[in-house]
Amino acid sequence: MLPAPFIMTTFDDFFTGPARDYLIRAVDLALEEDGPDLTAKAVFARGDRLAARIVAKEDSLVAGLPIADMVLARMGILGVTECEYPAKDGDAVPAGTLVGLFTGPAVGLLKAERVILNFLCHLSGIANLTARYVAALSGSRTQLLDTRKTLPGLRYPEKYAVLVGGGLNHRRTLAEMLMLKDNHIDRAGGIPQAVAAVRRAYPQGSPPLEVECRSLNEVRQAVELRPNRIMLDNMTMDQMREALAMIPQGIETELSGGVSLEALPELGALGADFISVGRVTHSAPYADFSMQIGVAAPSGPAPSSRNRSA
């Protein structure tokens, strides 16, 4: 059987090891893309400080708020910025909710504003859309999976946002699960040959194996070979119903291919283990958060105390 799906506990639990490294690189790239804020440097003195607040402009889940601290840290101004987070990742907040408060160097906060909001709005939007798909499956045993249809460089943040929305992560890398898709199967000459090639390549045991099936005949072949999971790809409702009846307990099942939100209740009633949906990452609309900049605070050193709850 496959290992238990990764279930989010906290931001720090998810962003460890390579996941954290990739996120830091994404933050650094975002800051580099903006370059220096020449406008702010021309208007504000070196010691000027500003107050800023992040507010939800629509009802939304919150995802990616701790990235604000990371942005400020990569800029070298976290230690001189007061940060307070009245909300946390996973919270469902109504429009008008204050989710972040900052007092810090004027030039730094103005440069950080769009980078922080881009992450927060994008990831919260993914969490919102994921939550809608999960809700459409309520009452069924079927769980929602994401896919690798993510923006280059943002694989881990986007998959984190799926977890915030109540979904589960499919493989995050190509090495976490072996998946025999149409190209592999056609090149090998069929499902039996493709499975045999994988098992020859990894005689000491491989990561879990999933086989993509496009027809009932392919399902029959896959069942005989006992992979960890069988995916039913772009089949009709009747074909999926018949295929699922052919797959014994001990082999996980996944439905995939053009899954719409409206179709989820009917698909969930089929009783598959998982439904994978690329739309929750590649087509999620931004959630609407804004950063409101207040009147400049008096110039001078930042207070030493900070309330950082995220």
pLDDT in tens, 24-54: 999 999 999 999 999 999 999 989 999 999 9
Same domain, 170 and 229: yes
Q: How far is CA 88 from CA 9, 84, 85, 103, 163, in A?
A: 12, 10, 7, 19, 14
Do 127 and 63 contact (CB within 8 A), yes or no?
yes
Residue 310 lies in a domain: no
What's the predicted TM-score (pTM) here?
0.92
Same domain, 120 and 208: no
Same domain, 110 and 195: no
Residue 3 lies in a domain: no
What is the residue whose two structure tokens read 């995916």? 231
Tokens of 192: 């039996």
Residue 259 lies in a domain: yes
CATH code, domain with 224 = 3.20.20.70
Q: CA-CA distance, 83 to 129, in Å (whole number)? A: 28
Same domain, 96 and 60: yes
Tokens of 189: 């000459």
pLDDT interval class at 89 (50, 70, 90): very high
Same domain, 170 and 119: no
State the average pLDDT for the chain: 92
Residue 213 lies in a domain: yes
Same domain, 162 and 265: yes
The set of catalytic residues is 114, 149, 181, 212, 233
- Residue 276: which H helix or E strand, with range? strand 274-276
Which residue from 75, 69, 66, 77 is spatially nearest to 30, judged by alpha carbons? 75
Residue 167 lies in a domain: yes
Residue 59 lies in a domain: yes
| Mean pLDDT, residues 115-132 taken together | 98
Same domain, 96 and 210: no
CATH code, domain with 52 = 3.90.1170.20
Same domain, 83 and 219: no
Q: CA-CA distance, 183 to 109, in Å (whole number)? A: 49
Same domain, 115 and 165: no
pLDDT at residue 300 above 50? Answer: no
Same domain, 119 and 147: no
Same domain, 110 and 250: no
Residue 94 lies in a domain: yes
Cβ-based burial of 289 (10 A; exposed 0-12, middle 13-18, buried ≥19): buried
Number of domains present in the structure of the chain: 2
pLDDT at site 301 = 46
Same domain, 139 and 278: yes
Q: CA-CA distance, 220 to 72, in Å (whole number)? A: 55
Residue 306 lies in a domain: no
Q: CA-CA distance, 287 to 65, in Å (whole number)? A: 13
- The tens digit of pLDDT for each residue in 236-261 reads 999 999 999 999 999 999 999 989 99
More confident residue, 292 or 295: 292
Bridge-based pairing of strands 252-256 and 274-276 is parallel
Give me the domain span that covers residue 82. 11-127+286-293
pLDDT at residue 1 above 70? Answer: no
More confident residue, 206 or 14: 14
pLDDT at site 302 = 44
